[in-house]
Amino acid sequence: MNTQAQPLNEINIQAFQVLAKEMGLEKTIRFLNQFTTGYGNYTEERKKFFSDLHVSDIVKDIKKTKIK
């Protein structure tokens, strides 16, 4: 019996290989992405990107793209 703990990095590599073999690379990447943390400050970025946008602008865009 092996009593020495395997390094976490090796376990991660092995797990990735098993997932990729069983599920395919695309599904494995999609699965793993749900565990990664984002970066930045969403609230501040939202204020910056949408500061000039008004509800009336959104309504106009919706009416333009609405299928008749």
pLDDT, residue 68, reads 60
- Asked if the structure places residue 1 within a domain, the reply is no
Residue from 39, 40, 22 nearest 31 by CA: 22
Q: Which residue has the higher pLDDT, 17 or 38?
A: 17
Whole-angstrom distance, CA of residue 24 vs CA of residue 21: 6
Q: What range defines the domain where residue 21 resides?
A: 8-65
- Asked if the structure places residue 2 within a domain, the reply is no
Please tell me the total count of domains within the chain: 1
pLDDT tier at 2, thresholds 50, 70, 90 = low
